[in-house]
């Protein structure tokens, strides 16, 4: 099946999901991010790669990390950035997504970064965008959050030089998590030794075995000898009905505590895409502890998003020349 995020030469023209991308493309994103990360250490942090380009951030759902780091990344690449305030935009008067897209295209935008509560929204934009316009998925419903997965891979790579042989555990609300889906695809494509998911049965999708993961229903066996632990937030806003017993039951069974962290390897890193719910999925002593790399994940989001934007808009320049 044709992957609409690739052009006829196999280069990225949109960035919609990790699924269907090659290890070569993922490694190129990581390598480009590495060289752009070095720019952040300079007195002048900007590079002219996207000078003259206009990037529009369209966030239909709340975001702190993704929206802000996309904006910083675009500005570091010298692009002009527009943050459309959805709450005061004409979408609140019933304007359709396509009309909003075409209206902004008429203002000579080059790229849209879209977050939406509906799975498939970014693909929908990509299917309807004019030729030469690129769409980046900043998280769509339960489906995908590909730049989050890539900044997570970048973070893992900065601590663990080889993906092969690693044991990575993803813990918590896998069912409602677009981040977990994108991470699992990326970890498998990059050749990680073992991808584990640890969750109550009610928060596990049915396709976990076919996605190449090992399923655990308890922390004690799932965390054993892990190199990387990725904690997930309970996505209460996406839950319909009772998935969990009330009170502290979830934290008592699936919360990451200092005691449980000792089950993993001594140099295991602890990750969380944020926002975190302390005392629900993770103990503060772990979130703020020496093995936590949670704030580094946020910082890495800038370089990784710069890399993706540069690669996608690089494709545009090559196709126009």
What CA–CA distance (Å, rounded) separates 38 from 46?
11
Nearer to ligand CP, 76 or 145 (CB): 145
Nearer to ligand CP, 16 or 216 (CB): 16
Taking the complex as a whole, the smallest distance from the CB of residue 158 to ligand CP amounts, in Å, to: 18
Nearer to ligand CP, 11 or 278 (CB): 278
What CA–CA distance (Å, rounded) separates 284 from 287?
5
Taking the complex as a whole, the smallest distance from the CB of residue 179 to ligand CP amounts, in Å, to: 7
Residues that bind ligand CP (CB under 6 A): 63-66, 139, 145, 148, 273-275
In 179-284, the DSSP E strands lie at 194-198, 214-216, 228-231, 269-271
Q: Edge-to-edge, what's the strand order for the sheet holding 214-216?
A: 214-216, 194-198, 167-171, 228-231, 269-271
| Backbone region of residue 228 per phi and psi (left: phi > 0; alpha: psi in -120 to 50; beta: other values) | beta
| Side-chain-facing half-sphere of 266: CA atoms under 13 Å | 0
Taking the complex as a whole, the smallest distance from the CB of residue 248 to ligand CP amounts, in Å, to: 25
Nearer to ligand CP, 237 or 318 (CB): 237
Nearer to ligand CP, 141 or 273 (CB): 273
The label of the residue with tokens 């970064």 reads: 113
Taking the complex as a whole, the smallest distance from the CB of residue 154 to ligand CP amounts, in Å, to: 14
Taking the complex as a whole, the smallest distance from the CB of residue 63 to ligand CP amounts, in Å, to: 3
Q: Among candidates 289, 300, 309, 312, which has minimal Cα distance to 38?
A: 300
């Amino acid at each position: 099946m044709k992957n609409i995020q690739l052009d006829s030469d196999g280069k990225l023209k949109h960035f919609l999901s990790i699924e269907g991308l090659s290890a070569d493309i993922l490694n190129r994103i990581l390598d480009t991010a590495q060289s752009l990360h070095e720019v952040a250490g300079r007195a002048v942090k900007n590079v002219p790669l996207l000078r003259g380009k206009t990037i529009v951030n369209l966030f239909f759902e709340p975001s702190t990390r993704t929206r802000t780091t996309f904006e910083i990344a675009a500005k570091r690449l010298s692009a002009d950035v527009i943050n459309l305030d959805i709450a005061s935009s004409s979408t609140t008067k019933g304007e359709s997504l396509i009309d909003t897209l075409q209206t902004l295209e008429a203002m000579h935008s080059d790229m849209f970064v879209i977050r939406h509560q509906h799975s498939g929204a970014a693909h929908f934009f990509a299917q309807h965008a004019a030729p030469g316009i690129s769409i980046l998925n900043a998280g769509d419903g339960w489906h995908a959050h590909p730049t989050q997965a890539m900044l997570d891979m970048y973070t893992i790579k900065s601590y663990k030089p080889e993906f092969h042989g690693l044991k990575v555990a993803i813990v918590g609300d896998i069912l409602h998590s677009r981040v977990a889906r994108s991470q699992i695809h990326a970890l498998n494509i990059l050749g990680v030794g073992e991808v584990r998911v640890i969750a109550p049965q009610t928060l596990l999708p049915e396709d976990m075995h076919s996605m190449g993961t090992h399923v655990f229903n308890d922390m004690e066996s799932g965390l054993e000898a892990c190199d990387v632990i990725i904690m997930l937030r309970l996505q209460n806003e996406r839950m319909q009905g009772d998935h969990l017993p009330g009170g502290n039951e979830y934290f008592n069974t699936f919360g990451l505590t200092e005691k449980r962290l000792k089950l993993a390897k001594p140099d295991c890193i602890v990750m969380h895409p944020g926002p975190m719910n302390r005392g629900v999925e993770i103990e503060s002593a772990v979130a703020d502890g020496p093995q936590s790399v949670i704030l580094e994940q946020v910082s890495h989001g800038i370089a990784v998003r710069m890399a993706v934007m540069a690669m996608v808009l690089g494709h545009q320049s090559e196709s126009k020349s």
